[in-house]
Amino acid sequence: MRTWCAALATGIAAALAAAAPARAEGDPPAEKPAALVHGRPLPRSVVYEALARRFLRGPGGDRVLEQFLTETVARREQEKRGIVITPEEVEAAVEDARRRTAEQMARHGEKVTAEDALAKFLKSAGYTLDEFRGHTRHYLALQRMAREDLAAPGEVPNAQIDVWLKDLLRKWKASTDPAALPPGAAALLGEEPLTLEQAGRWLARTVRRSDLYGVVLDQSFAIAVEARAAAEGVALPEEAVAAELYRLRKEFQRQPAVEGSGVTFENWLLERQGMTLEELRKDPSFRAALLARKVLGATVREEDLKAEFEAHPERYGETARIRRILVRGDDRPSRFGAAARPMEEARTLADRAAADLRSGKAFETVARKWSEDVPPDGPRGQPLEVGPSMKSTLLPQSILDAVFAAKEGETLGPLKAVDGWHLLLVERRTPAPSFEEARERVREDLVGARVREWRIALRTDPGLVVDGEFRPLQEPAGGR
């Protein structure tokens, strides 16, 4: 039977990434700030909460939240049972891992000592030896508790550990139902809330250091914006926040793939960002971005707007709304030999799709059957807004030329391009707006670009001093 060390050497370390050492009890009440922004402190608690909001919500958040809950419950169960893993047990397991890692490397032709083998493995996995010892201690505790409950004579397989942990979550009445959570909570254990700050502290030990640094930069930017706004006497009234939410909702509703789909802005916000509309309204990063736009908006001159408008005809020029069917083909051989689908074969399939269109079938229906396009090109016949230049889209230029030579309502193709055969429905042509018509959009774009430049400049600002625990292991040039 393989020991846990052997499993680690073959990839189990990734599964243990979430199992970081617990914080010691009795931490000092006053922590060093995560950063100083021109002398203004960024509290660690703010960073931890923002980190939790970023990683526990939206796509993939459920899985991360389950990992946090699983570790929290396992450690509390260990404490309740009085299970102690001695330093000697940990060191014995670490030595076993050294030996087995060296044996595995030797089987692949690498000649290294046991100590060097483990060091190399940990470096590639992004762990220090002390972190590995913490993971080892936690894993040994899991094994001991699972063996007790399952009456297992030896090591419990990882699949059984996972099932046992799910049972443990039910035993502790763990809940993540958003409707039941009090403000600031990530989850509940019975009636006890686990706060976003607690979850963020755990995440700070498990996410990539570059992700942690990114959150620090975001929160530091908010402090920098508030400081400059205060110095310049600029405030953010609630009416401006409400107006921005209204603008975002309208912009969302105008998206080609959204029109007629029944998807609301609130649905999208909750699914993709993990936030309610009210949470977005109060979100510090959202409000800081609005305040930054207001601060920098005052610096935009009329000549700046005109120069921006004239410099980007692909952004402010004529547009067309199209639907597309793409049958992929390529005459170039792949690295494995012949092309996956020669153009001649792809043309046969495209002709069949064209025949379906001529028979009167709806474009969307035919696209769902034949089209092989994927986002962001425009999934399976969904509407797509394009301009006459490749700068405005990922479509080949030859296809765009055909679109802007066609009339509204015209169906084109099959047309050959580098990626295969295209059939297109030109639903609408919209002429280029005048400068006056595009003025507000140009202003929004220009101010947004300046806000992004401000964010980027903050990375090398000598007034930003980030604590070593929050800096990336290989910091960008000029960072502090």
Measured between alpha carbons, how far is 104 from 7 in angstroms, rounded to an integer? 11
pLDDT for 1 beyond 50: no
Residue 206 has, within 13 A of its CA and on its CB side, a CA count of: 26
pLDDT (average), residues 44-66:
89
The structure tokens 């807004």 sit at 385
Structure confidence by residue, pLDDT tens digits, 251-263: 888 776 676 678 8
More confident call, 384 vs 51: 51
307 & 344 share domain: no
Q: Is residue 40 part of a domain?
A: no
Q: What is the pTM of this model?
A: 0.72
Residue ranges of E strands in 190-332: 192-195, 319-328
Confidence class for position 212, pLDDT limits 50, 70, 90: very high
Residue 68 CA to residue 194 CA, distance in Å, equals 10
pLDDT at residue 346 in the model: 93
Closest CA to 37 of 182, 166, 221, 197: 221
Q: What is the mean pLDDT of residues 418-432?
A: 92
pLDDT for residue 130: 85
For position 12, what pLDDT does the model report?
A: 28
Is 80 exceeded by the pLDDT of residue 376?
A: no
Whether 50 is in a domain gets the answer no
Determine, yes or no, domain membership for 53: no
Under the banding of pLDDT at 50, 70 and 90, the label for residue 5 is: very low
The whole-number average pLDDT for the span 87-100 is 91
Residue 6 has pLDDT above 80, yes or no: no
pLDDT confidence of 390, banded at 50, 70, 90? low
Q: Which residue has the higher pLDDT, 479 or 445?
A: 445
Would residue 298 count as lying in a domain? yes
Over residues 209-227, the mean pLDDT reads 94
In terms of domains, do 297 and 248 share one? Answer: yes
pLDDT for residue 157 is more than 80: yes
* Phi, psi (rounded to 5 degrees) for 57: -125, 160
What is the average pLDDT score of the chain? 85
Looking at the structure, tell me whether residues 399 and 450 fall in a common domain: no
Higher pLDDT, 127 or 378: 127
Q: Indicate whether 233 and 329 sit together in one domain.
A: no
Instruction: Assess whether 306 and 253 both reside in one domain.
Output: yes
- Among the ranges given (90-94, 167-171, 206-210, 289-293), the one the predictor scored with the smallest mean pLDDT: 206-210
pLDDT number for residue 75: 93
- Judge whether residue 15 has pLDDT over 50: no
Residue 401: pLDDT band with limits 50, 70, 90: very high
Does a structural domain hold residue 42?
Answer: no
- Asked if 66 and 196 sit in the same domain, the reply is yes
Q: What is the number of domains present in the chain?
A: 3
Contact assessment for residue 325 and residue 370, using Cβ atoms and an 8 Å cutoff: yes
Ranges of beta strands (E only) in 191-318 are 192-195
Same domain, 231 and 125: no
Q: Which residue, 218, 198, 210, is CA-closest to 283?
A: 218
Q: How far is CA 236 from CA 239, 292, 444, in A?
A: 8, 10, 17
- Band of pLDDT at residue 132, cut at 50, 70 and 90: confident
Burial classification of residue 372, based on how many CB atoms lie within 10 Å of its CB (0-12 exposed, 13-18 middle, 19 or more buried): middle
Q: Are residues 202 and 137 in the same domain?
A: yes
Over residues 438-477, the pLDDT tens digits come to 999 999 999 999 999 999 999 999 999 999 999 886 654 4
Confirm if 53 and 207 have CB atoms less than 8 A apart: no
DSSP 204-236: HTTS-HHHHHHHHHHHHHHHHHHHHHHHHT---
pLDDT given for residue 100 in this prediction: 87
Residue 114 has pLDDT above 50, yes or no: yes
Under the banding of pLDDT at 50, 70 and 90, the label for residue 392 is low
Residues 225 and 253 in one domain: yes
Query: Residue 117 has what pLDDT?
Result: 80
| N- to C-terminal Cα separation, the chain | 49
Q: Are residues 73 and 195 in the same domain?
A: yes
Mean pLDDT of 327-355: 80
Tell me which residue has tokens 């689908």. 341
- For the cut 70, the answer to whether the pLDDT of residue 29 exceeds it is no
Mean local confidence (pLDDT), 420-443: 93
* Alpha-carbon radius of gyration of the chain: 28
Give me the phi and psi of 184, to 5 degrees please. 80, 5
Whole-number Å distance between alpha carbons of 380 and 383: 9
The answer to whether 408 touches 271, Cβ cutoff 8 Å, is: no
Domain at 332, CATH number: 3.10.50.40
Q: Which domain holds residue 404?
A: 318-430
Cβ neighbours of residue 212 closer than 8 Å, sequence gap 6 or more = 47, 51, 204, 470
Per-residue pLDDT reduced to its tens digit, 344-369: 999 999 999 999 999 999 998 999 89
- Of the ranges 15-24, 188-197, 231-240, which one carries the lowest mean pLDDT score? 15-24
- Does residue 116 lie in a domain region? yes
d(CA 89, CA 69): 26
Give a yes or no: residue 65 inside a domain.
Answer: yes
338 against 123, higher pLDDT: 123
Same domain, 326 and 375: yes
* CB-based contact 326:344 (threshold 8 Å): no
Both 169 and 81 in one domain: the answer is yes
- Where residue 131 falls among pLDDT bands split at 50, 70, 90? confident
Q: Is the pLDDT of residue 62 over 80?
A: yes
Determine the 3-state secondary structure of 322 from DSSP.
Answer: strand
38 lies in some domain = no
Backbone torsions φ then ψ of 29, nearest 5 degrees: -65, -30
